[in-house]
């Protein structure tokens, strides 16, 4: 048997040497037409009219660096004779495959090793999961599904775009922040779930919105039905943390993460100036009060000393006594007996 795969069929044909079945991989509309098989030995003559319709074009998937994405085959369970083969960027060598009849399930590193420790194949459905995804994993993924229930091979294509790391958002308390999914439009059957840590906060299911009952987000959340983006209004410190988005559909699963930090705004320059002025006035007032108390206490000591000296003089020199001391001498003696400590508010006698 010989298989010619030039021109439009380049690297697309696979011929079964035992049965003579012909497989056209990665089929396109240009492969529509009449196929005929003949065999002189077995007097075989069959014709196949193949029509390729672009019912399901390439499915676009966006994912962030470090996340995981699952490309779905749409099969509920692989049958005994089913075969599934995943390829990357039109390469002939598969990156993953299942041959159920031979009980074989394999994942490969790829020609340049970019898929080492990154691929996981679901043995029940044939869906492919790319873990810890990086920029190098962006590109076109194709799967050929040969089922025992039909005589043809189902082909699906996925365009995977990997961008950025976990998104970080910083917002001031009282302001709003929007966590953007990066999608321009979500499909009606996409199921989107928003989580805050391990707490459910919002979802979109077949176009219907639903919100969680966590008190930290009461009357604060707004979902965009077209893009799935989440807006948090009137943010508080309790809204800081890790937000996760899971999108499940019949084609793919997407997981995104957002780190949100809510900060408390500091006082403005005007407010700080007012507070500083008030503190300065209070300090000056306190100093004035202390000084006044000190002067008042000093005067009371001085008057008390004068009264004592006067009493002593009156006792020693009664009125009419020719020996009379000048009152100024008593004042000097009184002042000389007053000593000051280092503390200006303390007077020692």
DSSP SS3 for 338 = coil
Total domains present in the chain: 4
136 and 37 in a common domain = no
Bridge partners (DSSP) listed for residue 105: 98
Q: What is the pLDDT of residue 232?
A: 97
Q: How far apart are CA 216 and CA 201, in angstroms?
A: 10
Domain-located, residue 61: yes
- CB neighbour list of residue 249: distance below 8 Å, 6 or more residues apart: 72, 187, 189, 190, 191
Residue 273 covered by a domain:
no
Q: What is the DSSP letter of 12?
A: T
Residue whose C-alpha is closest to residue 72's, from 285, 323, 247: 247
Residues 22 and 85 reside in one and the same domain: no
> Which domain does 184 fall in, by range?
167-263
Residue pLDDT, tens place only, 182-195: 777 777 768 899 99
| Average pLDDT for runs of 10 along the chain of length 349 | 68 83 80 82 76 68 87 86 88 90 90 91 93 86 80 81 82 95 77 94 92 95 93 96 84 79 75 82 85 78 66 57 50 49 45
- In this structure, the answer to whether residues 240 and 341 fall within a common structural domain is no
CB 271 within 8 A of CB 279: no
Is the distance from CB of 249 to CB of 187 less than 8 angstroms? yes
> CA-to-CA distance for 105 and 85, rounded, in angstroms?
10
Q: How far is CA 250 from the centre of its chain?
A: 25
pLDDT by residue (tens digit) across 138-156?
888 999 888 766 666 788 8
Give the residue among 133, 230, 146, 223 at the shortest CA–CA distance from 180: 230
Phi, psi dihedrals of residue 16, rounded to the nearest 5°: -80, 115
CATH of the domain at 245: 2.60.40.10
Whether the full predicted model's pTM is greater than 0.75, yes or no, is: no
Assess whether 172 and 158 both reside in one domain.
Answer: no
Model pLDDT, residue 325: 46
């Amino acid at each position: 048997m010989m298989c010619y795969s030039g021109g439009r069929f380049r690297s697309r044909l696979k011929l079964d040497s035992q049965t003579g079945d012909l497989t056209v991989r990665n089929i396109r509309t240009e492969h529509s037409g009449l196929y005929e098989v003949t065999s002189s030995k077995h007097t075989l003559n069959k014709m196949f009219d193949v029509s390729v319709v672009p019912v399901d074009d390439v499915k676009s998937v966006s994912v962030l660096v470090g996340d995981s994405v699952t490309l779905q085959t749409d099969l509920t369970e692989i049958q005994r004779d089913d075969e599934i083969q995943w390829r990357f960027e039109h390469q002939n060598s598969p990156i993953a495959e299942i041959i159920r009849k031979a009980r074989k399930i394999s994942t490969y590193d790829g020609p340049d090793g970019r898929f080492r420790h990154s691929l996981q194949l679901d043995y029940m459905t044939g869906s492919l999961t790319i873990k810890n995804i990086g920029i190098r994993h962006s590109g076109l993924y194709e799967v050929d599904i040969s089922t025992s229930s039909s005589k043809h091979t189902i082909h699906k294509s996925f365009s995977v775009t990997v961008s950025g790391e976990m998104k970080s958002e910083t917002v001031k308390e009282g302001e709003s922040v929007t966590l953007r999914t990066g999608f321009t439009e979500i499909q009606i059957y996409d199921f989107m779930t928003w989580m805050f840590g391990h707490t459910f906060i919002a979802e979109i299911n077949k176009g219907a919105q639903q919100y969680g009952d966590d008190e930290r987000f009461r009357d604060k959340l707004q979902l965009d039905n077209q893009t799935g983006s989440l807006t948090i209004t009137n943010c508080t410190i309790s809204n800081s943390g890790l937000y996760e988005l899971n999108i499940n559909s019949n084609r793919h699963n997407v997981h995104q993460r957002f780190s949100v930090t809510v900060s408390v705004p500091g006082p403005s320059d005007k407010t700080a100036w007012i507070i500083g002025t008030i503190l300065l006035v209070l300090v000056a007032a306190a100093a004035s009060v202390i000084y006044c108390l000190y002067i008042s206490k000093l005067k009371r000591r001085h008057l008390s000393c004068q009264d004592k000296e006067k009493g002593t003089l009156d006792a020693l020199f009664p009125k009419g006594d020719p020996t009379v001391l000048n009152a100024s001498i008593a004042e000097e003696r009184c002042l000389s007996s007053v000593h000051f400590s280092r503390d200006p508010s303390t007077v020692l006698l």
